[in-house]
């Protein structure tokens, strides 16, 4: 299988590579549009800032490349947010593949919920073959200060400060806010399911 991880100067690529290696899958890390277009599967991972990430994608014509992909694509963390319409982080228009805005968590002062949302939390309302064999209310590992609002493309939700879309799907585009590569057996199962789509 020809798997490409899109390089766009965001962190977290190495941990995704290690998780794939545990499944016996090797991947190419590239920002070459031609290599990305020819891939069987594409992953857009990321830890970073939406404004600078979108700047890199646009400057390298990767925004157009990603929008035109027809094979299965998986966005992880910042990757999910970039696939949405708009992000408050950097006040930037994103790729627009999901008609959803990304907002910053506003922590209520009376509660002890901190921003960023860091640690294990449950995912509920699971839909799609991405979650095949993963139980409802499974725990996944999150690290984020911004979240995708609820929308019709949500295939899982998580409650932290407010209810948000913790996974999205539209056509061949899949995305998760949590880090499957850091989420134990269930996270590994999700990556395996993506490989089998």
User: Under a CB-based contact definition with an 8 Å cutoff, are residues 69 and 38 in contact?
Assistant: no
Q: Which two tokens stand for residue 153?
A: 């493309």
Catalytic residue among 136, 163, 179, 192: 179
Rounded Cα distance, 33 and 179, in Å: 25
Catalytic residue among 77, 84, 94, 144: 77
Whether 94 sits among the annotated catalytic residues: the reply is no
Whether 77 sits among the annotated catalytic residues: the reply is yes
Beta bridge partners of 86: 93, 101
Catalytic residue among 59, 149, 181, 192: 181
Give the number of other Cβ atoms within 10 Å of residue 11's Cβ: 12
Q: Judging by DSSP bridges, how do beta strands 162-170 and 154-160 pair with one another?
A: antiparallel
Cα Rg, the chain, nearest whole Å: 15
Whether 192 sits among the annotated catalytic residues: the reply is no
Q: Indicate which residues carry an active-site annotation.
A: 77, 179, 181
């Amino acid at each position: 299988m020809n798997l490409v991880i899109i390089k766009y100067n965001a962190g977290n690529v190495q941990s995704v590579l290690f998780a794939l290696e545990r499944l016996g899958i090797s991947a190419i890390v590239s920002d070459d549009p031609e290599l990305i277009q020819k891939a069987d599967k594409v992953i857009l991972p990321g830890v970073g800032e939406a404004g600078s990430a979108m700047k890199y994608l646009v400057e390298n014509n990767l925004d157009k490349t990603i929008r035109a992909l027809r094979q299965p694509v998986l966005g992880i963390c910042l990757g999910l947010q970039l696939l949405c319409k708009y992000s408050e982080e950097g006040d930037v228009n994103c790729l627009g593949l999901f008609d959803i805005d990304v907002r910053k968590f506003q922590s209520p002062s009376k509660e002890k919920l901190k921003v960023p949302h860091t640690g294990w939390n449950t995912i509920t309302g699971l839909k799609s073959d991405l979650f095949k064999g993963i139980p409802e209310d499974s725990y996944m590992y999150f690290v984020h200060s911004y979240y995708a609002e609820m929308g019709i493309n949500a295939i899982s939700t998580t409650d932290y400060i407010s209810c948000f879309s913790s996974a999205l799907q539209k056509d061949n585009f899949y995305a998760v806010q949590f880090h499957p590569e850091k989420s134990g057996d269930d996270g590994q199962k999700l990556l395996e399911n993506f490989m089998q789509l």
